[in-house]
């Protein structure tokens, strides 16, 4: 019966998926061969097997591919992404620089506020038009308002520096916001320090900021850094 219903090895290969690999793959392939042999033993002829396992003349891997339209669409999409991405990352990247500086300002002020609370010393954020510096009062009396801020406060991050220069091409502005009315008042670079309670204190008058929030606008798209007057909480 078997020789009358002979099916070639090529037909068997075309009737199944491309040979899988691994022990599990070999078992699955053996299972397919056993099913075909079972069909032969039951009296099925070659034509019946061809209908059960049609010969498409192409394997599954040979059928996989992309059309010309799909390839062209991918090329167009990549061209659009490249034209936008290259401009933003390698062209005018002022906004990315501003974002980085805003993050550095946020982290530095938070560090200064926490250090003031943990050490009990006054920590100053000395802002000027070109950047800001973190300073501490003289260690002989770090809470004595008569002592000057003459000790650099080195942050554990940002290359261990106490100075934070404003990047070239990045602008910033300073405001105070009234908590009651919400009105913003444009001011010059603020000069304040955090006391041992973590509150922002005006260096010139040694008095806390009352009922207002300090706002620092950085960059063209105005990335805001806020310092709350009541608690000294620094946030975006």
Q: Where are the alpha helices (DSSP H) in 91-230?
A: 94-119
Closest Cα to residue 223, out of 131, 126, 110, 105? Answer: 105
Q: How far apart are CA 123 and CA 171, in angstroms?
A: 25
Give the pLDDT confidence score for residue 211 in this predicted structure: 72
Average pLDDT, the chain: 75
Output the CA torsion 28→31→32→37 (10° steps).
160
Q: How far apart are CA 186 and CA 21, in angstroms?
A: 72
Give the pLDDT confidence score for residue 55 in this predicted structure: 46
Q: How far apart are CA 77 and CA 84, in angstroms?
A: 11
Provide the pLDDT confidence category of residue 42 given band limits of 50, 70 and 90. Answer: low
CATH 3.55.40.10 range(s) for the chain read 97-235
Provide the pLDDT confidence category of residue 56 given band limits of 50, 70 and 90. Answer: very low
CATH, domain range 97-235: 3.55.40.10
Q: How far apart are CA 203 and CA 77, in angstroms?
A: 55
Q: How far apart are CA 43 and CA 5, in angstroms?
A: 8
Q: Which residue has the higher pLDDT, 210 or 23?
A: 210
Judged against a pLDDT cut of 50, whether residue 215 lies above it is answered with: yes
Q: How far apart are CA 88 and CA 211, in angstroms?
A: 40
Provide the pLDDT confidence category of residue 114 given band limits of 50, 70 and 90. Answer: very high
């Amino acid at each position: 019966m078997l020789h009358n219903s002979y099916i070639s090895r090529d037909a068997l290969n075309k009737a199944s998926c491309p040979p899988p690999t691994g022990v599990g793959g070999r078992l699955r392939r053996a299972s397919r061969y056993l099913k075909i042999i079972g069909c032969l033993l039951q009296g099925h002829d070659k034509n019946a097997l061809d209908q059960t396992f049609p010969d498409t003349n192409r394997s599954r891997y040979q059928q996989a591919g992309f059309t010309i339209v799909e390839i062209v669409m991918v090329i167009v999409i990549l061209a659009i992404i490249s034209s936008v991405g290259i401009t933003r990352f390698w062209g005018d990247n002022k906004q990315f620089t501003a974002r980085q500086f805003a993050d550095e300002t946020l982290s530095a002020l938070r560090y200064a506020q926490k250090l003031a609370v943990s050490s009990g010393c006054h920590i100053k954020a000395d802002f000027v038009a070109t950047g800001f510096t973190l300073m501490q009062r003289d260690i002989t009396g770090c809470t004595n308002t008569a002592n000057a801020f003459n000790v650099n406060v080195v942050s554990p991050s940002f290359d261990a520096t106490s100075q934070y220069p404003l990047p070239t091409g990045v602008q910033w502005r300073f405001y105070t916001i009234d908590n009651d009315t919400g009105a913003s008042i444009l001011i010059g670079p603020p000069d304040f320090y955090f006391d041992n309670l973590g509150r922002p204190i005006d260096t010139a008058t040694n008095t806390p900021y009352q009922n207002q929030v300090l706002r620092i606008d950085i960059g063209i798209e105005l990335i805001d850094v806020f310092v709350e007057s009541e608690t000294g909480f620094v946030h975006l």
